[in-house]
Amino acid sequence: MPPELSNPKLQLAFALVIGALGTYLLLPKPKRRSIASGLFLLIAAVSILGLFVVQTFGKPIGEFIPDILFWLFSTGAIGFGTLQVVQRNPARGAIAFAFVILSSCGLFLLLAAPFLMAATIIIYAGAIIVTFLFVLMLSNVKGASNENDRSREPLLGSLAGFAFIGLILFTLLHAKPVEAASISGEFTELNLPAALLTSDDRSSLREVRIELDKALANDDAKAAAEGAKAAHDKLAEIIGGDGVSGQRKSVLERLRPLIGDPKKPMTHDPRLLAFTKQTLQLQKANHDLEGHLLSSADASDKQSLQKLRDEVTVYSGQGQLPARNVSNIGLLLYSEHLLAVEMAGTLLLVATIGAVAIAGRKKGVAV
């Protein structure tokens, strides 16, 4: 690869310009569209964008299945989105939109939002069916029509839209050092409780869970106690006697000169500030976690064993998210966001009345 092509800004600009051009070529026009060249440009743009993402934000290597799913869903969302935008026929556009919804729902799932995924699919399925009905009702056009075969300012519109993408990505590119510093090395994870552990920790925790499962499945109390003991030993090995595992300890040692005295006011560098804050949070969470695990592991009866198993499951990144997700969202909605819920309900009611009022046939008005 030539060195100048590894410059992320250049990649970004290039991807956006040819993406805009490709979209422009593909947008419906009375003249013949050059679908082939447009498609080619778009695919090239997406590839360069992928390259940019990989180079800038890191290669998705590690847990294979989620990465594959991410690439699948994001490519699907973007591809079907493009299809929806450039599609002449609104009915086909609606189908493309359905696929966009499905793909983005997959991304929702990857972001641990199963309830939202389900809600989106259900609601948008309804919405898309209604849209379909409208298309069938109103746009039953055979042959060419103004609305389907013309675009309003296609070149300027594509440039404006892609300029927006470019702005967001450029901002991301510049915000990256903060993020990179905070999730560098072994801490590259999203900030779930599980993410406080290194990936090695997590695979070890998974083994602990298997041990615990075995112990729980065993009806014999003595065997169960042995299993629990084994699991406990393993946990102690992971976390370490003083509450910090050896691997994490070395990382913290490496970070310490960067942090300085946590009591003292930080320098004005926002990156260092963010980094320090995150590190301190990490330390505190780590301490809590270890205390929790150790206290749970002390108990040897089956009930506490079950509890410990649940905790370990969560922290090993294989939690029972769906059930908790729904209940927690419910709790949040009806505790913190009660007013917003009420207002959203009112909004829906008003919108319903408004829709009926607007679309209702009025007497004596020729339509």
Kindly identify the residues of this chain, within the stretch 190-229, that bind other proteins according to CB under 8 A: 190-193, 195
Residues 327-346 that bind other proteins (CB under 8 A): 328-329, 332-333, 336-337, 340, 344
C-beta of 66 vs 260, nearer to other proteins: 66
What's the closest the beta carbon of residue 269 comes to other proteins, in angstroms? 15
d(CA 104, CA 121): 10
Answer for which of 17, 39, 172, 294 binds other proteins (CB under 8 A) is 172
Give the distance from CA 13 to its chain's centroid.
25
Q: Say if residues 5 and 11 touch (Cβ distance below 8 Å).
A: yes
C-beta of 256 vs 284, nearer to other proteins: 284
Is residue 123 at the binding interface for other proteins, with CB under 8 A as the rule? yes
Is residue 99 at the binding interface for other proteins, with CB under 8 A as the rule? no
Q: Which helix (H) or strand (E) holds 282?
A: helix 270-298
Is residue 10 at the binding interface for other proteins, with CB under 8 A as the rule? no
d(CA 135, CA 168): 34
Rg, Å, the chain Cα set: 27
Is residue 363 at the binding interface for other proteins, with CB under 8 A as the rule? no
Q: Say if residues 258 and 272 touch (Cβ distance below 8 Å).
A: yes
What's the closest the beta carbon of residue 56 comes to other proteins, in angstroms? 7
* Burial bucket for residue 9 (CB in 10 Å: 0-12, 13-18, 19+): middle
Stretch in the footprint of other proteins (CB under 8 A) among 54-62, 231-239, 241-249, 261-269: 54-62
Is residue 300 at the binding interface for other proteins, with CB under 8 A as the rule? no
What's the closest the beta carbon of residue 115 comes to other proteins, in angstroms? 7
Answer for which of 39, 112, 178, 273 binds other proteins (CB under 8 A) is 112
Is residue 167 at the binding interface for other proteins, with CB under 8 A as the rule? yes
C-beta of 23 vs 313, nearer to other proteins: 23
Is residue 157 at the binding interface for other proteins, with CB under 8 A as the rule? yes
d(CA 187, CA 196): 7
Indicate the SS3 state at residue 32.
Answer: coil
C-beta of 189 vs 213, nearer to other proteins: 189
Is residue 163 at the binding interface for other proteins, with CB under 8 A as the rule? yes
Q: Which of 295, 323, 319, 307 is nearest to 216 (CA)?
A: 307
Q: Say if residues 147 and 89 touch (Cβ distance below 8 Å).
A: no
Indicate the SS3 state at residue 314.
Answer: helix
Residue by residue, DSSP assigns 205-266 as HHHHHHHHHHHHH---HHHHHHHHHHHHHHHHHHH-TTSS-HHHHHHHHHHHHHH--TTSPP
Is residue 38 at the binding interface for other proteins, with CB under 8 A as the rule? no
Residues 252-291 that bind other proteins (CB under 8 A): none
Is residue 240 at the binding interface for other proteins, with CB under 8 A as the rule? no
Size of the site for other proteins (CB under 8 A): 112
Stretch in the footprint of other proteins (CB under 8 A) among 84-92, 255-263, 269-277, 308-316: 84-92
Stretch in the footprint of other proteins (CB under 8 A) among 67-75, 225-233, 239-247, 260-268: 67-75
d(CA 164, CA 31): 28
C-beta of 1 vs 367, nearer to other proteins: 367
Q: Which of 86, 82, 85, 64 is nearest to 74 (CA)?
A: 82
Answer for which of 32, 263, 264, 363 binds other proteins (CB under 8 A) is 32
